[in-house]
Structure 1
């Protein structure tokens, strides 16, 4: 039975309202980034600036790097965040794709216990791991390095990838890989030739969320980095707040730029996201 007209109108109205609620903060962020400082600090808010300016974006992309120039250093932080998040995602996704398959298909002792242990590590509050991780990186001479951040972020993203991919593999029929093995494939060959192509929505969805976890992480980056060569975007945005003054427009511009990579990922892989999330959530 087709839904009635009132039902469809209600659904569309609810979708529009939800879209406005979700997009309103981002719209205000964008407006603030192009508003002059005087209008931002005015007691009477302007829904659109009378004299919009792109000076903050020009400062970020055109200023010469320097210790005192937080706008120019933000550009380096964007590069650092992209490198760290990409490497973390690649490493965690490879481990999650292979390890998740093992947890989903292989039978061995303490299989569920091991998987729940990884999940428990993922659920630990980051502040509880700061001291041991700091000591470990200090002993390995990896403090204030992108390599140290990648290793640290993998401790967060890898358990997430393992859990998500193991659940996704459970949603795929085991008969497919069994048929491939009957035809002469090894278990690894069946995984590479049959299962991974079918698991593409889950891989893309897991990789996207893993990238976002690494991209948005703040605490570890704040504590484990101290120079421009390794600081990431969240720390760079925090540095826009000075001791005696804050450039709220510059903070807004940094926030807008920080949302661009996640937005691009969501637009590119949106058709895989729903399928990847729903298929990986039906079993566990």
Structure 2
């Protein structure tokens, strides 16, 4: 009894510390975005004494931040759609088919995901320039697949292994082809894992910085992480506008995770246990 109580207290204490570490930066970001310049630089206070939306208005009207949010959304959505299709078929092939070297293919996929982007942006840049896609959103859609596809493939491999292959065999006995069993049995049962991989793919593409910095050079093609970094001029940090931009950039991801949190938990749990 005492041991279980102590474990419970320790667990809740660690959770409280974790929530505090996550909540304080979020609170500080929102509070700073709502403060006036006087509250920020003259009469400093932890809470906004005169809440204002002036920083949000400025980043939308002067900085045209909505254009960059739209760019990020288009790139992340397209990348996610292609990633889910490619990763689902790749994971199915590795998990369900028997052929020489499939285990090594799975290991190479994981190894590719673990490679840092800094090692790849030079050859990727050479390919992008050769294809005439420099300073376009298409270059980001193409190159982002280099890290989203390996991650989602590895994640879906673990989820597919959690589903008994006998279910597909029974469907084929009833007249389904291998592809028919894939679409009628495996994919519907794997919906939580597929949705979870799509969400993580979207998040990776939304937050990516290095490749977007290398491949885009003007305001019309910049994604939101690059635009926020460009709002820092020299050693001048316009904290109100920076935090307002950060809040706006966080809203789509927050909404996405709020709507699909159940699928994220199910997908990660199954992939982790059976992978």
Shift of 1:205: 0.7
Q: Within 2, Cα distance between the matches of 1:245 and 1:60?
A: 16
Shift of 1:38: 3.3
Q: Within 1, Cα distance between the matches of 2:191 and 2:13?
A: 33
Q: Within 1, Cα distance between the matches of 2:18 and 2:108?
A: 37
TM-score by length of structure 2 reads: 0.93
TM-score by length of structure 1 reads: 0.90
Q: Within 1, Cα distance between the matches of 2:10 and 2:107?
A: 42
| Aligned residues: CA RMSD | 2.0
Q: For each residue in 1:20-58, what CA deviation from the matched residue of structure 2 results, as whole angstroms up to 9, or x when unmatched?
A: 32111101000011112233234x741112222101111
Cα–Cα, structure 1 residues 170 and 52, in superposed 2: closer, same or farther, change >3 Å?
same
Q: Does 1:46 find its partner at 2:45?
A: yes
Out of 170, 179, 195, the position equivalent to 1:188 is 179
CA contact (8 A) 2:110 2:150 kept: yes
Q: Does 1:58 find its partner at 2:57?
A: yes
Q: Does 1:175 find its partner at 2:166?
A: yes
Q: For each residue in 1:95-125, what CA deviation from the matched residue of structure 2 results, as whole angstroms up to 9, or x when unmatched?
A: 0111111111111111011121122111111
Give the structure 1 partner of residue 86 of structure 2: 95
Structure 2 counterparts to residues 1-284 of structure 1, below 5 A: 15-42=15-42, 45-61=44-60, 63=61, 69=62, 71-72=63-64, 74-243=65-234, 245-284=236-275
Structure 1 alignment gaps of length 5 or more: 64-68
Shift of 1:5: 7.5
Structure 2 alignment gaps of length 5 or more: none
Q: Within 2, Cα distance between the matches of 1:214 and 1:235?
A: 13
Other structure's SS at 2:120 match: helix
Shift of 1:208: 0.5
Q: Choose 76-85 or 251-260, whichever is displaced more.
A: 251-260
Q: For each residue in 1:237-280, what CA deviation from the matched residue of structure 2 results, as whole angstroms up to 9, or x when unmatched?
A: 00110135221111111111111111111111111222111111
